[in-house]
Structure 1
Amino acid sequence: MAVTLPIGERIRYWREKKQRKQAAVAGLCGITEEYLSQIERGLKTPSLPVLRALAAELGVPTSALLDETPGEPSGKNGGVAQDVTRALMGYGPPRSSPPLSSTALREQVESAWRMWQTSPTRFTDAATVLPPLVADTEHAVRVHRTGTDSDSRRDVLRTAADLYFLLRSYCRRADRVDLSLMVADRGLRAAEDADDPIRIAAAQWNLGHVLLADGEHEGAEQVARLGVEQLATSQEGEAVALAGALELVAVVADARRKRWWNARQRLQDKAVPRARQVGEGNSMWTVFGLTNVELHGVSIEMEAGETTEALRVADQIDTSCLPSLERRFTFLLEVARCCDLRREDAAVLVHLLDLLQSAPEDLARSPLAQDMVIRLRRRVRPTYRRQVDMLTERLGLL
């Protein structure tokens, strides 16, 4: 759900945008300057007649000053695209039509993953790419369930699992935890039907992230622990990377429960050795590697309120090697949050403007970014008010 500016903030925004003095607007609306000041600071709530008078004097609709109705994320596709939802509910090709080959399906899913991890307009792109891909994949799964070619059936199920992993990330970032849980479950079922241990572990990693998003931190840790145990007998590169990624799920679960010491120790004892063993990578699109482990170290310190230590660690990290725009976005947003907690407003603004350029759709969908912009407006200095107002508009907070 998107954040919006409170009524007082909106009134002040429009008054300043219209270049009107507080005393003049208050006098013309029949209220005192002090009363209007209290309204703008959130200390008083205006009555409906006063609100209408203010709107008329500022030349805006009364609805522009209200925030009862949550705004939609800015951009062409707020939330989960309707066509994606329809495809997940079973709208697709006729059952009698021939399915795509497993090779063609695999190429399309991998292309979709590359788009999702690298495109600054990935939500808009996903709204176009995913609906037909979901329909074609689920149709292929249905056809191969009753087929006699066991190798093709397994290949299609693997591809389906990979697509559901992408859909988990898409639905989660679109703030639809319910759909995210549904596709995470489908991914786990497809991986199990394919009898693929690596994809089963990846499915558990995806499920763990859904549980984290839903506040089920203990459940996320249990899923992660189960996945690590199932991979314990294998020392192959992908198995080690997936075990490391699952350990990071448990690290986040510890941090969210304010078990800072446990989170730090698990990171050093469980995740770091695996990251050193496998190097930088992107096994099953988990972006597991030493850089990602270091980013989790920043996250722990941020969650713990240790902003000085978080920024010290962040200054030593080079994220240019990461294949995932989403991971780089999350890192820079957390750095901005540390600066926000320290009231280093210029630094907050610089980081948010950087994110607006590199990942505009992710920024527009981030409640944390929206909260930071609202706080920034309350403390903003005149020298960069224009940039903050531009951010406010671009994030759809008005």
Structure 2
Amino acid sequence: MSVSALPIGERIRYWREKKHRKQAAVAGLCGITEEYLSQIERGLKIPSLPVLQALAAELGVPVSALLGEKRNELLAENAYVADSVVTALMGYGPAGSAQPVTLAELRERVESVWRIWQTSPKRFTEAASVLPALIVDTENAIRAHRLSSDSAARRDVLRTAADLYFMLRSYCRRAGRVELSLMVADRALRAAEDADDPIRLSAAQWNLGHVLLADGEYEGAKQVALRGIEGLRALPRDADTIAMAGALELVAVVADARRKRWGQARERLSSNATPRAQQVGEGNTMWTVFGPTNVELHAVSIEMEAGEAAEALRVADQIDTSHLPSIERRFTFLLEVARCYDLRREDPAVLVHLLDLEQMAPEDLARNPLARNMVTRLRRRVRATYRRQVDALAERLSSV
């Protein structure tokens, strides 16, 4: 197979090894962590354009050598946020309603887009169809109530705005636009602060933590999560407070795992997150889906990150995700199971799980770099018995 046909991560590794460069040295000179470069080379992350340019310069090759001739995965990954959503976020989208919409209507529309995002197999397409007008109307409502003497109405608008930005954080992140995800996470934080809503403020920190995780800023993500937990200590220990603290603990767990601190991640999960999950049971406080099942999913993630595929699969076999309210969490779990089989090179099991993921959420599968890389690897090594199915899956994904 020619170099140009390889995924971006494998092309970067090819050129780095051809130049006899150490991973740590290249990462340091490009201003990224060694772990982040490792994840890029393994297909777990898609580099931003500035990172790609820095890598090309450091390796002494043109950017085109890293992108390849057949497909520009970087641009494809960054094209999933609808243009109309971007223009609305930047403030030059379509005109909003002539009169500010009522708070009740705005709240219902935000709740509706969250239902789409957490339950629809075509959530990217369906969310993109309603988000531009909703963003504009929400921003108009904020402006209309900025100097209002009705403090209760103003706080309600800001709470609703924060909830919309939470959803947009996930939408932009899952579409590969980390810079937009960071922008809306910051808007959510400011809205929650202005609303003087402690639970939403902790939810905003949870969202920011996930953006930092996506950007490879693991220590920053952990510190944001720990500050969020500390801020909750003064609040009454009701179900929402406990659940938010637990969700923030899971951010810290992932940060530890990504930094290869497997023991710390396992200890934090069992000592801090598990007791909180047992206290509150299954729930969806601030759309975090925190509860015992989510904690178990993180146990699988730790073992998968650690390369302990057999242990991850053993834990996964005991988990039932059918009751979870979020298609995203169910998808992520099944994808990690597929990745474990991929690590073991059990190709029939990888294919079965990828086909299940396609049925569950075809748009998510097509937009996920880890899934696309698994399909690419399958096409290279799969036995003739399964090649037709793998090729057909790849063709379907390219058309989504």
Same fold at TM > 0.5? yes
Partner of 1:162: 163
User: Cα distance, 1:127 vs. partner?
Assistant: 1.2
Q: Distance in 2 between matches of 1:358 and 1:78?
A: 22
For structure 1, list consecutive stretches of 5 or more residues without a partner in the other structure.
Answer: 11-64
What is the letter of the counterpart of residue 134 of structure 2? L
- Tell me the secondary structure at the aligned position of residue 72 of structure 2: coil
Aligned length: 339
Partner of 2:57: none
Partner of 2:53: none
User: Cα distance, 1:375 vs. partner?
Assistant: 1.1
Q: Distance in 2 between matches of 1:216 and 1:310?
A: 25
Partner of 2:129: 128
Equivalent of residue 338 in structure 1, options 337, 340, 357: 340
Please report the RMSD computed on the Cα atoms of aligned residues, expressed in angstroms.
Answer: 2.2
Q: Counterparts in 2 of 1:307-346, with a 5 A limit? A: 307-346=309-348
What is the letter of the counterpart of residue 166 of structure 1? M
Flag the 1:124–1:138 CA change in 2: closer, same or farther, 3 A.
same
Q: Distance in 2 between matches of 1:307 and 1:267?
A: 19
Q: Is the 8 A contact 2:96 2:136 kept in 1?
A: no
Partner of 2:42: none
Q: Counterparts in 2 of 1:350-361, with a 5 A limit? A: 350-361=352-363
Partner of 1:297: 299
Partner of 2:101: 100
User: Cα distance, 1:188 vs. partner?
Assistant: 0.4
Q: Does 1:67 align with 2:74?
A: no
Q: Which deviates more, 386-395 or 182-191?
A: 386-395
What is the letter of the counterpart of residue 181 of structure 1? L
Q: Counterparts in 2 of 1:1-398, with a 5 A limit? A: 7=4, 66-67=69-70, 69-70=72-73, 73=76, 78-91=79-92, 97-233=98-234, 234-396=236-398
% same residue? 71
What is the letter of the counterpart of residue 163 of structure 1? L
User: Cα distance, 1:66 vs. partner?
Assistant: 3.5
What is the letter of the counterpart of residue 129 of structure 1? V
Q: Distance in 2 between matches of 1:302 and 1:359?
A: 22
- Tell me the secondary structure at the aligned position of residue 395 of structure 1: helix
Flag the 1:303–1:100 CA change in 2: closer, same or farther, 3 A.
same
Q: Distance in 2 between matches of 1:68 and 1:383?
A: 27
What is the letter of the counterpart of residue 251 of structure 2? V
- Tell me the secondary structure at the aligned position of residue 398 of structure 2: coil
What is the letter of the counterpart of residue 382 of structure 1? A
User: Cα distance, 1:378 vs. partner?
Assistant: 1.6
User: Cα distance, 1:71 vs. partner?
Assistant: 7.3
Q: Is the 8 A contact 1:73 1:395 kept in 2?
A: no
Q: Is the 8 A contact 2:84 2:93 kept in 1?
A: no
Q: Distance in 2 between matches of 1:393 and 1:118?
A: 25
What is the letter of the counterpart of residue 338 of structure 1? C
What is the letter of the counterpart of residue 112 of structure 1? V
Q: Which deviates more, 124-133 or 250-259?
A: 124-133
What TM-score, normalized by structure 2, do the two folds share? 0.81
Q: Distance in 1 between matches of 2:166 and 2:6?
A: 40
Q: Distance in 2 between matches of 1:139 and 1:66?
A: 45
For structure 2, list consecutive stretches of 5 or more residues without a partner in the other structure.
Answer: 8-67
Q: Distance in 2 between matches of 1:255 and 1:216?
A: 13
What is the letter of the counterpart of residue 378 of structure 1? R
What is the letter of the counterpart of residue 379 of structure 2? R
User: Cα distance, 1:7 vs. partner?
Assistant: 4.6
Larger Rg: 1
Flag the 1:135–1:338 CA change in 2: closer, same or farther, 3 A.
same
What is the letter of the counterpart of residue 196 of structure 2? D
Q: Distance in 1 between matches of 2:302 and 2:164?
A: 30
Larger relative contact order, structure 1 or 2 (CA cutoff 8 Å, min sep 6): 1
Flag the 1:9–1:88 CA change in 2: closer, same or farther, 3 A.
closer
Partner of 2:20: none
Q: Is the 8 A contact 1:72 1:396 kept in 2?
A: no
User: Cα distance, 1:70 vs. partner?
Assistant: 3.3
Q: Distance in 1 between matches of 2:392 and 2:187?
A: 41
Q: Is the 8 A contact 1:227 1:246 kept in 2?
A: yes
Q: Deviations over 1:135-170 (max 9, x none)?
A: 000100010001111111110100000000000000
What is the letter of the counterpart of residue 324 of structure 2? L
Q: Is the 8 A contact 1:6 1:66 kept in 2?
A: no
